[in-house]
Structure 1
Amino acid sequence: MSNREDYQLPPKEGFVLTHFLTVADVNRSAEFYVRILGGTVVRSGEPTLIQIANSWLIVNVGGGPTDDKPSVTLRPPVNPNEVSSFLNIRVADIRACYEQWRSRGAEFLTEPKDHGREIRCYMRDPDNYLIEVGQTTDFRA
């Protein structure tokens, strides 16, 4: 199994997958991911780079088109009830994570719910991005 130190930016070979979130306030979002999920800010400013477990998250303010994306505007979610993607965190013990993250200030939509092959619940970050927290209980294909 790999550990946190095995993942580096920039990568020495191959590639590292990061997820970019357009946020209203970079410092507020970074603080959330550090406080709730135990992330480490690797680079501050705009953008801010955060390492969380074996993943990387980039948070930055939105903006209009640029020369390499001439018809694209970045902005945080407008309607928190309409989602096209979300972070998915798989955990070993969902009840322990739910209690720990809730004690740190995370606001969950519901408590963990058992769906047979997994137990899951959802929380939101400060910009209303949806984050699924799930524990697989049956990993058969």
Structure 2
Amino acid sequence: MSDQQNNPFVDSALTTILVVSDMAASKAFYVEVLGAEIFREYGGDSLVLEFLGNWILLVTPGGPTQDKPDTHFIPPADKNSVSHAYTIRVKDCKKSYEILKGKGADFITPPMDRGAETRCFFRDPDGHLFEISEYRAS
């Protein structure tokens, strides 16, 4: 049994913030291509999405604020240099690939069989990296 008194995250949820350059294009991608649901929108410069039981907050670029005085929110500068990525475990990678490709997802390569795993990668409009992966127990 965990000690609830020493747990700073009782009844909390984790939200990932992604900085996007074009809110309309990102909104269309996350809702229409990935199937995320809009939870709340804030004046065109931020959008809360629920996706696969997780929260994603899309925000437009912004400068420092009083509570983060030296921090700038910027979209990825180089789509080929990744410091954050999502992996979505799927039942059938090739089928998921075909569905997402049909909805406009831009894949780096088609699914590749890597033994116990078949996987492939795609990006959102700003270059945030997603992987779909099918694992087969040996």
**TM-score (norm: length of structure 1):** 0.84
Check the 8 A contact 1:30/1:50 in 2, yes or no: no
Amino acid aligned to 1:71: D
Output the CA distance in 2 between the equivalents of 1:18 and 1:133: 20
Identical positions, percent? 37
Q: Which runs of 5+ in 1 are unaligned?
A: 1-12
Matched, 1:132 2:131: yes
Aligned to 2:90: 91
Check the 8 A contact 1:32/1:126 in 2, yes or no: yes
Amino acid aligned to 1:76: P
State the secondary structure of the residue aligned to 1:78. Answer: coil
Matched, 1:82 2:81: yes
Output the CA distance in 2 between the equivalents of 1:44 and 1:94: 32
State the secondary structure of the residue aligned to 2:88. Answer: strand
Aligned to 2:39: 42
- How many residue pairs get aligned? The number is 127
- Hey, which bits of structure 1, 4+ residues long, moved more than 3 A? none
Output the CA distance in 2 between the equivalents of 1:118 and 1:94: 9
Output the CA distance in 2 between the equivalents of 1:92 and 1:18: 25
Q: Deviations over 1:75-132 (max 9, x none)?
A: 0011111111111111121111100010000110001111123211000110111111
Rg: which structure is higher? 2
Aligned to 2:15: 18
Q: Which runs of 5+ in 2 are unaligned?
A: 1-9
